[in-house]
Amino acid sequence: MPSVANKLVIVHNDEPAPEPTVPEVVTPEVVAAEAEAVSQARPEELRLLEALLFAASEPLDEATLARQLPNGVDVKQALMQLKAEYAPRGVNLVRIGKKWTFRTADDLSWLLTRQTVETRKLSRAAVETLAIIAYHQPVTRAEIEEIRGVATAAGTLDILLKTGWIRPRGRRKAPGRPITYGTTETFLSHFGLEAVNDLPGLDELKGAGLLEGAMPAGFSVPVPSDDTTLRDDEDPLEPGDLELALVPPPSSEPEPGPEEK
């Protein structure tokens, strides 16, 4: 029986091989030509509106825009067309009242969100209250008022608590068990102090010109101490003291004097 041999079949393809594609070179001339074609197909009033709105420092009304456009241009229709063009972009054309302006797209506003620290100058009342707490701590609100000689507005202690410069220490063992206040490490850090007893004494205050004229007999500046240990006349804070308002409500306060304003 004859053997079966494998046959080699050669298939001839008469079709020419495809030529390799050469990427189109984008030259400045090509870009300029495409831009020219787009600008010719786009109404000129849209370009004018873009320029006016981008250059404006505040939103513009339709009457102001119309005065800058050629006669016969339908401003409302042009603005709606421009709004539609910018709808999918990172900057949108929006109407605010009866005026128009460009704004960052709402879904991209997070890119431009910036947190800033607002610096506020303490009032004279707050500075005096802070100084009294620093030098006389632990001290109650009534004691602060006695030293200052004027009622302390309810918001003054609130401001100092929010800055983190003072803290409630405990409760005085006295009728009403008022809160006692002291300074914090944040206070030391802000004013560049290693300890609260680094605060200037009487001689330093005089040298700095903060105390002028003849001082009353027996006048002295106390040596401050920020020892966190409660004193014999203090009780620990009760649960919930830090969650409640630590300053008495303003309804129970007399009207602040001129020093508080």
Q: What is the DSSP letter of 138?
A: S
Q: What is the pLDDT tens value at each position of the chain, 261 positions in all?
A: 555 555 555 555 565 656 666 556 667 665 556 655 555 568 898 999 999 999 998 999 999 999 999 888 899 999 999 999 999 999 999 988 789 999 989 888 888 777 777 777 888 889 889 989 999 999 999 999 998 888 877 788 999 999 899 999 999 999 989 999 999 988 988 888 888 888 887 677 666 665 565 556 666 667 788 788 888 989 998 877 765 544 444 434 444 444 444
pLDDT at residue 100 in the model: 92
pLDDT at residue 251 in the model: 39
pLDDT at residue 254 in the model: 43
Report the distance separating Cα 128 and Cα 146, nearest Å.
Answer: 12
Nearest to 137 by CA among 102, 95, 181, 178: 181
Report the distance separating Cα 113 and Cα 66, nearest Å.
Answer: 34
Cα angle 9, 10, 13 (rounded to 5 degrees) comes to 140
Report strand pairing: 139-140 vs 166-172. unpaired
Structural domains of the chain, with CATH: 29-109 (1.10.10.10), 124-212+219-249 (1.10.10.10)
Q: What is the pTM of this model?
A: 0.49
pLDDT at residue 8 in the model: 54
pLDDT at residue 116 in the model: 72
Q: How many other CB atoms are there within 10 angstroms of residue 167's CB atom?
A: 21
Cα angle 6, 12, 16 (rounded to 5 degrees) comes to 150
Report the distance separating Cα 91 and Cα 106, nearest Å.
Answer: 9
